Amino acid sequence: MTDATANASARRTGSLLVPDARTRRRNAAEARFKIYGLAATLVGMVALVMLLISIFSSGTGAFFQTFLHIPVTLDAAVLDKSGNRDPAEMQKVTTIGYAKVLNASLQKVLDDKGMAVAGLTDKDVADMISKEAPAQIRNMVLANPALIGQTVDMTILANGRIDGYFKGRVSMESAQLDKNVSPRQLELADKMRAAGMLTTDFNWGFLTSGDSSDQRPESAGLGVAIIGSLYMMIVVLVLSLPIGVAASIYLEEFAPKNRWTDLIEVNIANLAAVPSIVFGILGLAVFINFAGLPQSAPIVGGLVLTLMTLPRIIIPARAALKAVPPSIRDAALGVGASKMQSVFDHVLPLAAPGILTGMIIGLAQALGETAPLLLIGMVAFVREFPGAPPQGFFDPASALPVQVYNWTQRSDPAFVERASGAVIVLLVFLLIMNAVAIILRRRFERRW
């Protein structure tokens, strides 16, 4: 009653075109809310932009690398003392022997061109070459012993600090204090660059080669991690798609609605929220200790990630099935189709875009996961590529997020750049997967 009298007294009397106090207040509240919303969006955007700027500014360097171009004289006296080109005999010459050959070649080139910098010892000059280079030459020679005695034009990696100098990470001032590089070495590097011996090129090795130790950041690559992640995603896809879809079809279409199915439903929702490291503990106990599967293998990683991804696939798959209108089922059943026919011929095709979207987003989450891999030995230094599938699933491998984690822990500052570069690669993969999900949804989704 009081409301009615209040309303009666508040009945507006003036012109509609002139807003009264109350309307103005409401309009002002709306304007304020818009500003809050805009500010919230801006905060999110700024955070994202800052993240991207920091990653890209420190990470793009990983895609470029400084290479040294020199003719290398493969001295037979060092590499094949007996002179009979016997592979077994030549195996005994280690990379230390090859490093000597390499250093002598570099020294000779510098002497020939008169580029020597006063005060630099032979060792200082040798340290400008990556420690990866002797292994590269050794593999080349062992693959083709006929090269011994010849002079071969080679492109080898320059040391990480020299590379850092051209990327701005190392300066003359920092070199003064740095035990691993001296300003004289940088001076020589400048001369070599002017002479065209040092160039900075696109670094395919970052995407194709394996990890390397702390002493040679310049040669560390993501190859093994990319293959490992790919293998794991294959395992996850092959296992979780049929299991997830079968489970959601059963629960949504066939299962009776009773206490048991309710319980299952609650548990699936709970599982989706379980911290991912729990699945790692489970994987260690079940797949490694009980089933006897090998450590550090993508198959175990894939199985663990499957367990983690399943609930995250079942929930959107059920939602997609639920979104198909009952009239479709009723019509199919009405013309005499069996329940299974109605599901597989009518409901499932209509729900497929939604299921696939859920699947891809689930995979993308699994791709970025490190914690469950920690316990099953995948957070490790893995240099060698796993074999071709199916055997390769059981060989040790790393994974993309694991590689990021590993590199952030290395002491050499050059690995910071590598870690950020790996984040960029991971982001690109995630972006592609999410874009595919969006395209699928846009093109095939039907609304009723």
Q: Does 78 bind another protein (CB under 8 A)?
A: no
Beta bridge partners of 202: 64
Compute the C-alpha angle 7/8/11, nearest 5°. Answer: 85
178 burial type by CB count under 10 A (0-12 exposed, 13-18 middle, 19+ buried):
middle
C-beta of 202 vs 381, nearer to another protein: 381
Number of residues that bind another protein (CB under 8 A): 53
252 binds another protein (CB under 8 A): no
Which of 297, 356 has the CB closer to another protein? 297
> Which listed range, 7-15, 111-119, 388-396, 436-444, lies at the site for another protein (CB under 8 A)?
388-396
Nearest distance, CB of residue 390 and another protein, angstroms: 5
| Residue 294 found at the interface with another protein (CB under 8 A) | yes
Give the binding range for another protein (CB under 8 A) out of 75-83, 214-222, 259-267, 347-355: 214-222
Q: Which of 41, 261, 289, 327 binds another protein (CB under 8 A)?
A: 289
Contact between 214 and another protein by CB under 8 A: the answer reads: yes
Place of tokens 């670094």: 203
Q: Which residues contact 173 (CB under 8 A, 6 or more apart)?
A: none
Q: Report, in Å, the least distance between residue 245 CB and another protein.
A: 8
> 391, 442, 443, 447: which one contacts another protein (CB under 8 A)?
391
x/- site string to another protein, residues 366 to 385, per CB under 8 A?
--------x--x-xxxxxx-
Alpha-carbon distance 221 to 398, whole Å?
A: 11
Over 277-336, what HEC string results? HHHHHHHHHHHHHHCCCCCCCHHHHHHHHHHHHHHHHHHHHHHHHHCCCHHHHHHHHHCC
Token pair recorded at residue 344: 């597989």
Q: Distances in Å between the alpha carbon of 338 and those of 110, 329, 333, 443?
A: 83, 10, 6, 29
Please state, as a whole number, how many other Cβ atoms lie within 10 Å of the Cβ of residue 292.
7
Using CB under 8 A, which of 208, 215, 365, 434 touches another protein? 215
Query: Would you say 231 or 429 has its CB closer to another protein?
Result: 231
Binders of another protein in range 80-99 (CB under 8 A): 91, 94-96
Q: Figure out which of the listed residues 90, 198, 299, 308 binds another protein, where binding follows CB under 8 A.
A: 299
d(CA 155, CA 367): 35
393-412 binders of another protein (CB under 8 A): 393-394, 396, 408-412
Per CB under 8 A, does 66 bind another protein?
no
| Nearer residue to another protein within complex by CB, 108 or 383 | 383
Degrees, nearest 5: CA angle 324-328-333: 130
Q: Least distance in Å: CB of 396 to another protein?
A: 4
User: Which of 174, 200, 208, 365 lies at the binding interface for another protein (CB under 8 A)?
Assistant: 174
Q: What is the nearest approach in angstroms of another protein to the Cβ of residue 356?
A: 16
Q: Could you tell me how far CA 354 lies from the centroid of its own chain? A: 26
Closest CB to another protein among residues 87, 275: 87
Secondary element (H or E) of residue 65: strand 64-73
Q: Please, are residues 216 and 205 in contact by the beta-carbon 8 Å criterion?
A: no
What does the chain come to in residues? 448
Query: What DSSP element (H or E) covers 248?
Result: helix 223-249
Q: Least distance from C-beta 273 to another protein, angstroms?
A: 25
Residue 141 binds another protein, judged by CB under 8 A: no
Which residues of the chain form contacts with another protein (CB under 8 A)?
91, 94-96, 131, 135, 138, 174-175, 177-180, 212-216, 238-239, 242-243, 245-246, 288-289, 291-297, 299, 374, 377, 379-384, 390-391, 393-394, 396, 408-413
